[in-house]
Chain A
Amino acid sequence: MDGIHDMGGMDGFGPIPIEQDEPVFHAPWEGRVWALNSALGALGKWNIDAGRYTMEQLDPALYLQSAYYQRWLCRTENILIAHDMVTRQELESPPERCKVKSQGRALSVDEIFARQRQARSARVDEDVAAQFKVGETVRARNIHPKGHTRIPRYVRGKTGVIDRDHGVFIFPDTNALFAGKKPQHLYSVRFSAQEIWGPDTASADKVYVDMWDDYLEV
């Protein structure tokens, strides 16, 4: 989807909020949101692409107004509801009025980290033919998928060169919709910065974008 999350190249957000010696979490609740997200993700009800798609579907105004871990909180609530693990009513009721039935046994931290290690790699051990080879000139397709996609707007229609072949990976566009892993080659594609941003950009500078076979054409 052409969502608010696709921010590469936008102007107007002001200076970068650089902070000296910043803590990992700025308040305890941020750490809880992060940990909840890790623990819930390890249950395996959804995948990383579905999680990202849920984040992208937040109301754009809410997305822009919320701090990072506030967005994660909204995302987590929404994905729990989408997977029938909690109801909106349960989230909005005072805890003491909320009678809930246990759904099972929660994972230990070791189980959570072990499952993350297993699930995190999107590399697929399958022999899929590469559609392009290193050094080949390619064009990022001008596509606007309605669902989840990882092809940023700024690169669509631009011409670049296959810089390296990362191997075979899960395709996020289908995986996010639980419509299959559609394993295919993932490449780092090199673009001249001027091809993307125009002649005012330093002529030797480059932009590298990771892209799957389905995002590219000759």
Chain B
Amino acid sequence: MTDDAAHGDHSHLSDTELRVRALESLLTDKGLVDPAALDAIVDTYENKVGPRNGARVVARAWVDPDFKQWLLRDATVAINSLGFTSTSGADIVVLENTVKVHNLTVCTLCSCYPWAVLGLPPAWYKSFPYRARAIKDPRGVLREFGQDVPDDVEVRVWDSTAEVRYLVLPERPAGTDGMDEDALAGLVTRNAMIGTDRLAGG
């Protein structure tokens, strides 16, 4: 059953829901979790961390060549300087897309993802088809996202098998010379920072 199928199966869901409630109540009675803390964690991931953080990092790199060099050299520290440590202190490496290189990130073994800058991953990133095929047929996967990568562009797929998190720095789209950092951040999609979207087109 895929995630989608599970979401549509209401009797299965209510079973799961009962189990989750029973577990939370048991753990609360044992003094192991505090429901108010759980509320705050959900709120953080729903409302406070998310791909807007990553978009700020990308836009800064587009307008500030020194920041970009710092980002490519030591992304963890450069990103922390913008205040996006969030709940995760993982090491981050930024991968630069160019006219000749397109980067794509995946976690084939589980669901590793740069939470600090992108929040929690979308369901498709954690899905079996993406985990199975991104590493083997990245061009086919990119076509499913509507992206045709020309033959003369090298595709690099990065499997997040360790505690290093990868963030793609997309190419700055053409025709954006007059735009300021805020406007540029608005152009950066989450998928572009995973590598399944190419903002520059082509």
Looking at the assembled complex, report how far the CB atom of B67 sits from the nearest CB atom of chain A, in whole angstroms. Answer: 20
CB-nearest residue of chain B relative to A49? B163
Are A22 and B108 interface neighbours, CB within 8 A? Answer: no
Q: List the B side residues contacting A98 at CB < 8 Å.
A: 26, 29
Please pick, from B34, B111, B135, the residue contacting A207 in the complex, using a CB distance under 8 A.
B135
If the complex has contacts A24-B119, A98-B26, are A31 and B128 also in contact, measured as CB distance less than 8 A? no
CA of A117 to CA of B31, assembled, Å? 23
Q: Type the 1/0 row for A173-198, where 1 means its CB is closer than 8 Å to any CB of B.
A: 00000000000001010000100110
Are B37 and A109 interface neighbours, CB within 8 A? Answer: yes
Are B37 and A19 interface neighbours, CB within 8 A? Answer: no
Are A121 and B28 interface neighbours, CB within 8 A? Answer: no
Q: List the B side residues contacting A91 at CB < 8 Å.
A: 19, 22-23, 26
Are B33 and A206 interface neighbours, CB within 8 A? Answer: no
Are A6 and B42 interface neighbours, CB within 8 A? Answer: no
Chain A residues touching B, range: 35 or more
Decide if B138 is an interface residue (CB 8 Å cutoff).
Answer: yes
Looking at the assembled complex, report how far the CB atom of A12 sits from the nearest CB atom of chain B, in whole angstroms. Answer: 8
Within 8 A of B (CB), among A26-74: 26-27, 29, 31-36, 38-40, 43, 48, 52, 55, 64-68, 70, 73
Decide if A146 is an interface residue (CB 8 Å cutoff).
Answer: no
Are B38 and A39 interface neighbours, CB within 8 A? Answer: yes
Q: List the B side residues contacting A19 at CB < 8 Å.
A: 4, 122-124
If the complex has contacts A120-B89, A205-B154, A210-B162, are A39 and B109 also in contact, measured as CB distance less than 8 A? no
Decide if B132 is an interface residue (CB 8 Å cutoff).
Answer: yes
Decide if A122 is an interface residue (CB 8 Å cutoff).
Answer: yes
CA of A105 to CA of B28, assembled, Å? 10
At the interface with chain A, which of B54-62, B139-147, B169-177? Answer: B139-147
Looking at the assembled complex, report how far the CB atom of B115 sits from the nearest CB atom of chain A, in whole angstroms. Answer: 9
Please pick, from A9, A103, A193, A211, the residue contacting B31 in the complex, using a CB distance under 8 A.
A103
Decide if B199 is an interface residue (CB 8 Å cutoff).
Answer: no
If the complex has contacts A7-B108, A113-B87, are A24 and B38 also in contact, measured as CB distance less than 8 A? no
Are B30 and A150 interface neighbours, CB within 8 A? Answer: no
CA of A196 to CA of B136, assembled, Å? 8
Are B34 and A122 interface neighbours, CB within 8 A? Answer: no
Q: List the A side residues contacting B110 at CB < 8 Å.
A: 5, 52, 55
Are A100 and B41 interface neighbours, CB within 8 A? Answer: no
Are A169 and B159 interface neighbours, CB within 8 A? Answer: no
Please pick, from A15, A29, A86, the residue contacting B30 in the complex, using a CB distance under 8 A.
A86
CB-nearest residue of chain A relative to B108? A8
Please pick, from A11, A33, A170, A212, the residue contacting B20 in the complex, using a CB distance under 8 A.
A33
A contact set with B: CB distance below 8 Å: 5-11, 13-19, 22-27, 29, 31-36, 38-40, 43, 48, 52, 55, 64-68, 70, 73, 76-77, 80, 85-86, 90-91, 94-95, 98, 100-109, 112-113, 116-118, 120-123, 150-152, 154, 164, 166, 169-170, 172, 186, 188, 193, 196-197, 202, 204-212
B contact set with A: CB distance below 8 Å: 1-4, 6-7, 13, 16-17, 19-34, 36-42, 44-46, 50, 85, 87-91, 93, 106, 108-111, 119-120, 122-124, 126-133, 135-136, 138-139, 141, 144-145, 151, 154-164
Q: Please name the 9 residue pairs, one residue from A and one from B, whose CB atoms are nearest each other, closest first.
A: A8-B108, A67-B6, A122-B163, A210-B162, A102-B31, A106-B34, A109-B40, A35-B41, A35-B38
Identify 22 residue pairs between A and B in the complex whose beta-carbon atoms are under 8 Å apart, listed by A's number. A6-B108, A7-B109, A10-B128, A14-B2, A16-B127, A17-B124, A29-B21, A34-B42, A38-B87, A39-B38, A39-B41, A67-B3, A91-B19, A103-B31, A105-B31, A108-B34, A109-B44, A112-B37, A121-B89, A123-B163, A150-B109, A207-B135
